[in-house]
Amino acid sequence: MQLIKGTRRRVATTLILGGVLAVSVLAGCSSTTTTGTSGPKGCKKIGVLLPETDTSPRWEQKDHPLLNAAITKALPGATIDFYNAVNNKDTQTNQAETALTKGDCILVVAPVDATASAAIVDKAKAQNVPVIAYDRLIQNDSLKFYVSFDNAQVGKLQGQYIADHYQKYVTQNGNNNLVMINGSKDDNNAILFHDGAHSVLDPLVSGGKLKLQFETYTPAWNNQTAQTEMEGALTTVSNKLAVAYVANDGMASTVIAALKAQGLAGKVLVTGQDATVVGFQNILLGNQAMTIYKAIGKEADATAQLVAALSNGTDTSSLATASIKLADGNSVPSVLETPVAVDLSNIASTVIADGYVTKADICQGVPAGTDGIC
C-alpha cells in the first residue's frame, strides 16, 4: 500500500544569478540613492535573532560565535544583541520587538517561520531598520537582503547521492522502497530541499527504479517526531526499505534509531544535512550514508559584510550578486553560498581540513581504525 503524506508546495525557488536589483533607500536614513546603496548609515547596534536550539546544534555552536566574530571584525565598535527563539515564532516576534526597543538599528533574522516572520520585517521597516534574512528566507518584499546557501542545490545533492548509490541497497534488501522525511513546511529552506531532491528522484520513481511509499513534512524539524514518522513508515512497508531520504542530521539520528529497533540500521541508505558531529559519527559507523556541508563561516562573513556596508553607507552590489524570488514574485538581493555533499570518501578533505569539525570530536565513541579516519 502506498501512503504519501504532505502536500508538495513550490514557492520562492526561482534564482536569478548575477542579477542585482536596486535597493531602495530607507526613509529618514543618511544614504545616497545609488543602486545597491542603503542605510542606516552610522548604525553600530545590531540585533541577531536565531531560531532554535533543539533540532540542530549549529545555531548556538556555530552561527552565534561565527556571526559575533565576523560582525565585530567587519564593523569595529559594533555591539550585538543575540536572541534565540527556541523554535517559537511568537517568541521570536517578541524578541524582535525587544531588539527594536533597545535601539538595534540593523536586524539579522534566521526565522522560525518564513511567513510569520514577515511581521518582524514590517515592524522594523516602520522604524527605518533594515532586515537581513539569515539562512532562511522571510516572505516579505521589504526584506533588505537574504544570505544563505543554494538550498535547492542542497536537495539536489541529497537526491543525486541517492541516484548514484541506491542500486546497492535495492539489491541488498530485495526491494526498491523509498521513504522521504522532509523538514518543517514553515521553513522555506525545507521546501527548497524537498523540491531539489524531487527534481532528481522523481524520474527514478516514475521510471519504476524506486517506489515512493511514504513522504511527510516534519513540524518544527522535531527529531522525535521524525522517529515516529519513520516507525509509521516501516509499518507501512512491513520493514522492507532500501532508501530513507532524511532532510537533516538531527532527524536522521532518530530515523536511524527507528531502523535499529527493526535490525535495519546500516542496511538502509540514509541521507542527512548540516555536517554535525553526530551525523559524522553515524556515517563512520555505517548507519548514515552522507550529509551536506554548508560552510557557515562563509555565510556569517557575507552577512557581516552587508551589515558593515549598511552601517557605512557603501555600495552593496558587489556583495549581493544573486537574487531570489519571493512567493509574491518580488525579488530580494541575495548572497548564496555553495553546499558540498560529504560521505566517507571526503570527510578528511572537507570538514576536517577546514577545521569545521575535529577528528577527536567525530571519533568519540567510534572504534579506532574505523574507515581510516579514527
164 and 38 in one domain? Answer: no
At 144, list the grid cell.
533588505
Domain limits for position 263: 151-293+341-368
**Number of folded domains in the chain?**
2
What integer pLDDT is reported at residue 101 of this predicted model?
96
Task: Report yes or no: 332 and 131 within 8 Å, Cβ to Cβ.
Answer: no
Does residue 345 lie in a domain region?
A: yes
352 and 222 in one domain? Answer: yes
220 and 145 in one domain? Answer: no
93 and 50 in one domain? Answer: yes
What distance in Å separates the CA atoms of residue 301 and residue 170, rounded to the nearest whole number? 42
164 and 220 in one domain? Answer: yes
90 and 226 in one domain? Answer: no
Q: How far apart are the first and last CA of the chain?
A: 42
What integer pLDDT is reported at residue 43 of this predicted model?
96
Does residue 26 lie in a domain region?
A: yes
Does residue 4 lie in a domain region?
A: no
Does residue 234 lie in a domain region?
A: yes
At 133, list the grid cell.
534574512
CA 215 → CA 54, 223, 259, distances in Å?
23, 16, 16
What integer pLDDT is reported at residue 21 of this predicted model?
34
What distance in Å separates the CA atoms of residue 255 and residue 246, rounded to the nearest whole number? 8
What distance in Å separates the CA atoms of residue 79 and residue 76, rounded to the nearest whole number? 9
What distance in Å separates the CA atoms of residue 67 and residue 65, rounded to the nearest whole number? 6
> How do 106-109 and 131-134 pair as beta strands?
parallel
332 and 285 in one domain? Answer: no
**What does each of the 374 residues of the chain score in pLDDT, given as a tens digit?**
344 444 333 334 334 333 333 333 333 343 333 334 345 889 999 999 999 998 888 999 999 999 999 999 999 999 999 999 999 999 999 999 999 999 999 999 999 999 999 999 999 999 999 999 999 999 999 999 999 999 999 999 999 999 999 999 999 999 999 999 999 999 999 999 999 999 999 999 999 999 999 999 999 999 999 999 999 999 999 999 999 999 999 999 999 999 999 999 999 999 999 999 999 999 999 999 999 999 999 999 999 999 999 999 999 999 999 999 999 999 999 999 999 999 999 999 999 999 999 999 999 989 988 777 89
316 and 199 in one domain? Answer: no
At 186, list the grid cell.
514553515
What integer pLDDT is reported at residue 144 of this predicted model?
97
What distance in Å separates the CA atoms of residue 349 and residue 344, rounded to the nearest whole number? 10
What integer pLDDT is reported at residue 44 of this predicted model?
96
Please tell me the pTM assigned to this model.
Answer: 0.84
351 and 314 in one domain? Answer: no
Q: What are phi and psi for residue 132, nearest 5 degrees? A: -105, 120
Does residue 269 lie in a domain region?
A: yes
Does residue 9 lie in a domain region?
A: no
Extract the runs of DSSP E, i.e. beta strands, from the chain.
15-17, 45-50, 79-84, 106-109, 131-134, 145-149, 177-182, 211-217, 243-246, 269-270, 291-293, 322-325, 331-337, 340-342
What integer pLDDT is reported at residue 271 of this predicted model?
98
What distance in Å separates the CA atoms of residue 259 and residue 66, rounded to the nearest whole number? 35
Does residue 6 lie in a domain region?
A: no
122 and 162 in one domain? Answer: no
Task: Report yes or no: 326 and 139 within 8 Å, Cβ to Cβ.
Answer: yes
CATH number of the domain to which 49 belongs: 3.40.50.2300
302 and 243 in one domain? Answer: no
279 and 168 in one domain? Answer: yes
Does residue 374 lie in a domain region?
A: no
At 188, list the grid cell.
522555506
Q: What are phi and psi for residue 207, nearest 5 degrees? A: -85, 0
